């Protein structure tokens, strides 16, 4: 044999022997000498407890607390570790039936024999101490701390939202969650779930044979601290929100108030509403079921974002802007009225007066004027057909934020109804013209909008041509860390000069028109009343306004279902909201009292 090859073979064998020796020594050390691995091998004596992070807090625009956390506990079970126990005793402690206990155990076993599963949720501090004393009787069960949401004031339920147990689809989509975890279901809890939820931690705990914990394993060497969720600073003014809900008591409808210069929502009221504290704690499921079954008031339904209504005369403002932009009318264009707009034998009625120019048509809300302006817009000779003219009109409406979703931090919004050309072709079997749809010129017929969209339209008018997407969170993590997701300025497509006659007309509404009885002393306001037809009962009362005109601080849209004339209910509520926000007090206390006591349900 070649001496060189023999020498290499010996070296290789020697290296392999040394390497195997090292492995054997390390393995012996791990299995026989190192106490850490001895303990880990006895996994029945060490429990990994998930540390749920506290969700981020929420503040209003003035740094008043809207949402905070309270300590609570979940009773966890590891099915593999369950031994015989007194089921009656556990049922008494948890106030459940034996059948319920059996079902919960079966559910946990189906999920996993080895992984912890929530057996009883959201145990309060009062019950926790008593349960902890008796926990040694129930092998396989242990308590895991968590936090519950709490609300210092029973307001803003729809916008703050609530949390609930994670569903099967969410478990599949996001590995962060385990069965029994909580997730934002609605409102900003849903929109900012990733920011609010934080990051889970874990704690290794020593447990004796009697299921009693004996502190951290190895002084917390293997523990991982939970990272709290980020705090949110909302655009909502808590005092204004509370005031709006007081004004809307015993009414169905909504208020949306926006700061025009930023798109920040100052208050967003949907009534009937509910106390957000009802949807936390061990009675959450029972309370949710009651709210869900209330089909008369439908308190879980967010009318400000989801409900769509014919906007009535407030929609005339949009049509006046578009008709100017399309070159159909100008400030001085005069249309006669004579009591309405005639279509063959049918008349769209109007209060009797000779006629109006654009400014006066806004002031007196002339149906004939805006029917004619709409008809001339969609029938404009510069387009080949009424379909093309209507499509141009629809493009303008969409640019004004109507008939589409804003897709901001307001979940579950509706886009409203602005029919497409194809929709109209189907409805009229291909045979339609300007007069077929002329009622859209006065906010009736096929058009339907959300209160949010109409409030944004008023913000556009206040800004004379632009807007920022309406949103409810202005800072994340720190009040000095602005939320820049909605900071893009959006052009409405209407030139600034066309807003002047509309605003002048709205100012006259408040001094000599239908809104004069809701005028606020020493604050120059611009407003527009509306009465939205309701085929199911009394008409809806509608009002939109902004002010002060020279320095717009607030744009408001109010709709009160079955409230009747816009001037009678919606106008006082809207101007009270504006007055309260601008002055931080209300001088018209008699009007305020009357609106708060009014019942229109």
pLDDT tens column, 70-118: 988 889 898 988 988 999 999 998 889 999 999 999 988 988 887 788 8
pLDDT of residue 560 exceeding 70: yes
If asked whether residues 212 and 251 sit together in one domain, one would say: no
Alpha-carbon distance 361 to 355, whole Å? Answer: 8
Q: What is the mean pLDDT of residues 360-373?
A: 96
Confidence of residue 49 (pLDDT cuts 50, 70, 90): confident
Tokens of 254: 């909504």
Q: What is the CATH number of the domain that holds 155?
A: 3.90.1310.10
pLDDT of residue 422 exceeding 90: yes
Q: Are strands 232-234 and 58-59 parallel, antiparallel or unpaired?
A: parallel
If asked whether residues 230 and 263 sit together in one domain, one would say: no
pTM of the predicted model as reported, rounded to 2 decimal places: 0.86
Mean pLDDT, the chain, whole residue set: 90
Under 8 Å between Cβ of 417 and 397: no
Report the number of distinct structural domains present in the chain: 2
Q: What is the mean pLDDT of residues 132-139?
A: 88
If asked whether residues 298 and 229 sit together in one domain, one would say: no
Instruction: State the CB neighbour count (10 A cutoff) for residue 520.
Output: 21
Residue 478 within a domain: yes
What does residue 249 show for φ and ψ, rounded to 5 degrees?
-60, 140
Confidence of residue 43 (pLDDT cuts 50, 70, 90): very low
**Where does a domain end: 197, 215, 234?**
234
Alpha-carbon distance 198 to 164, whole Å? Answer: 16
HSE-up (13 A, CA, CB side) for residue 363: 18
Confidence of residue 23 (pLDDT cuts 50, 70, 90): low
| Beta bridge partners of residue 269, listed in sequence order | 255
Neighbour-count burial of 193, counting CB atoms closer than 10 A to its CB (0-12 exposed, 13-18 middle, 19+ buried): buried
C-alpha dist (Å) from residue 577 to 61, 553, 561, 566: 17, 12, 18, 15
Tokens of 558: 């109010």
Residue 354 within a domain: yes
Closest Cα partner for 67 from 165, 160, 159, 158?
160
Question: Where in the sequence is the domain holding 491, given as residue range(s)?
Answer: 238-597
At 161-197, the pLDDT tens digits run 999 889 888 988 998 998 888 899 999 999 999 999 9
**Where does a domain end: 234, 263, 295?**
234
Residue with tokens 């809890």: 189
Residue 18 within a domain: no
Residue 411 within a domain: yes
**Where does a domain end: 213, 234, 255?**
234
| Beta bridge partners of residue 165, listed in sequence order | 182
If asked whether residues 120 and 257 sit together in one domain, one would say: no
At 528-544, the pLDDT tens digits run 999 887 777 888 999 99
Tokens of 593: 């009292």
User: Cα angle vertex 290, ends 285, 295, to 5°?
Assistant: 140
If asked whether residues 298 and 314 sit together in one domain, one would say: yes
């Amino acid at each position: 044999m070649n001496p060189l090859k023999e020498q290499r073979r010996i070296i290789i064998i020697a290296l392999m022997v040394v390497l195997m020796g090292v492995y054997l020594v390390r393995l012996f050390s791990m299995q026989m000498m190192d106490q850490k691995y001895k303990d880990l091998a006895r996994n029945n004596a060490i429990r990994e407890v998930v540390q749920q992070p506290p969700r981020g807090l929420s503040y209003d625009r003035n740094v008043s607390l809207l949402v905070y956390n309270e300590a609570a506990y979940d009773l966890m079970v590891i099915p593999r570790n369950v031994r015989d126990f007194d089921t009656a005793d556990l049922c008494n402690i948890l106030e459940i039936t034996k059948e319920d206990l059996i079902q919960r155990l079966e559910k946990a076993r189906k999920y996993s024999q080895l992984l912890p599963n929530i057996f009883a949720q959201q145990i309060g501090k009062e019950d926790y101490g008593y349960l902890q004393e008796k926990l040694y009787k129930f092998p396989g069960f242990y308590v895991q701390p968590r936090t519950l949401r709490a609300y210092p004031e029973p307001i803003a339920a729809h916008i703050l939202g609530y949390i609930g147990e994670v569903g099967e689809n969410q478990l599949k989509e996001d590995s962060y969650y385990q069965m029994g975890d909580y997730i934002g279901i609605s409102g900003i809890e849903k929109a900012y779930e990733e920011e609010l939820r934080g990051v889970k931690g874990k704690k290794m705990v020593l447990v004796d044979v009697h299921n009693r914990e004996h502190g951290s394993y190895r002084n917390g060497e293997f523990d991982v601290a939970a990272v709290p969720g980020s705090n949110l600073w909302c655009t909502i003014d808590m005092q204004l929100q509370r005031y709006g809900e007081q004004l809307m008591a015993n009414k169905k409808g909504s208020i949306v108030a926006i700061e025009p210069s930023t798109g920040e929502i100052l208050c967003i009221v949907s009534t009937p509403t509910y106390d957000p504290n009802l949807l936390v704690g061990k009675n959450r499921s029972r309370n949710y079921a009651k709210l869900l079954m209330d089909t008369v008031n439908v308190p879980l339904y967010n009318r400000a974002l989801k409900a769509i209504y014919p906007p009535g005369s407030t929609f005339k403002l949009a049509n006046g802007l578009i008709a100017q932009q399309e070159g159909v009318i100008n400030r001085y264009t005069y249309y006669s009225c004579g009591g309405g707009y005639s279509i063959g034998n049918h008349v769209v009625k109007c209060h009797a007066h000779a006629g109006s120019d654009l400014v006066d048509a806004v002031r007196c809300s002339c149906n004939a004027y805006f029917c004619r302006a709409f008809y001339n817009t969609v029938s404009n000779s510069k387009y080949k057909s009424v379909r093309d003219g209507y499509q141009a009109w629809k493009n303008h409406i969409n640019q004004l934020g109507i008939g589409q979703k804003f897709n901001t931090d307001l979940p579950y919004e509706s886009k409203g109804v602005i029919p497409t050309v194809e929709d109209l072709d189907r409805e009229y079997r291909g045979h339609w013209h300007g007069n077929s749809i002329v009622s859209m010129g006065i906010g009736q017929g096929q058009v339907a909008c959300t209160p949010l969209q109409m409030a944004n339209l008023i913000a556009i008018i206040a800004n004379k041509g632009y807007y920022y997407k309406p949103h409810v969170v202005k800072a994340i993590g720190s009040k000095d860390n602005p939320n820049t997701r909605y900071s893009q300025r959006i052009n409405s497509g209407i030139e600034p000069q066309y807003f002047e006659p509309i605003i002048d007309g709205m100012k006259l509404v408040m001094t000599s028109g239908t809104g004069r009885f809701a005028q606020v002393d020493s604050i120059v306001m611009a407003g527009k009343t509306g009465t939205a037809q309701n085929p199911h009962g009394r008409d809806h009362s509608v009002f939109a306004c902004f002010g002060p005109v020279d320095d717009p601080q607030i744009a408001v849209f109010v709709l009160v279902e079955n409230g009747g004339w816009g001037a009678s209910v919606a106008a006082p509520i809207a101007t009270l909201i504006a007055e309260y926000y601008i002055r931080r007090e209300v001088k018209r206390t008699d009007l305020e009292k009357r609106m708060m006591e009014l019942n229109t349900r």
